[in-house]
Amino acid sequence: MQVKWTPDLSVSNEGLDKEHQKWIEILNNFYQGILDGSPKEKLEQLVLAMLDYTKYHFASEEEFMKSVNYPDLKEHQEIHAFYVEKITGFYEKIKEGKLILSLEVTNFLKTWLINHIKGTDQQYARYVDGQ
């Protein structure tokens, strides 16, 4: 199932909201690639694109949190590191032919992303709004 951007995903920061929208677009492209039965090489490229964008976005988000002196930055960074490690693991296993990409993998990525934005990311949004 494709992920749709909804206002409840907003973190009250236009730049980060746009990055989250782009991330959802990349995830949806990956999901569509699986549904279309894309070749392994194409799926590898899609996972790599997701991994690269995830790293870019997390760095951007962490810089923002530093700029507002967000008190739970360290915990947030640990959560980010876990997700990057998961995607990196998927990418390496796909390249080695040890993982068949499935809707199960996609559902993990989608569920984690939505829960992260609606949960963890909302915490820094509330922190900034409360200042």
Q: What is the DSSP letter of 8?
A: G
81 vs 94, higher pLDDT: 81
Residue 1 included in any domain: no
Residue 68: inside a domain: yes
Supply the CATH number for residue 73's domain. Answer: 1.20.120.50
Report the distance separating Cα 123 and Cα 70, nearest Å: 9
pLDDT at position 95, please?
Answer: 84
Residue 2 lies in a domain: no
Please tell me the distance from the alpha carbon of residue 120 to that of residue 131, in angstroms, as a whole number: 18
Let me know if residue 6 belongs to a domain.
Answer: no
Which domain, by its residues, includes 73? 11-130
Per-residue pLDDT tens digits for 31-60? 898 889 888 888 889 889 999 999 999 999
Residue 101 pLDDT: 67
Domain count along the chain: 1
What are phi and psi for residue 12, nearest 5 degrees? Answer: 60, 30
Give the residue-averaged pLDDT of 76-87.
95
In a domain, 70, yes or no: yes
pTM of the model: 0.89
pLDDT of res. 129 = 79
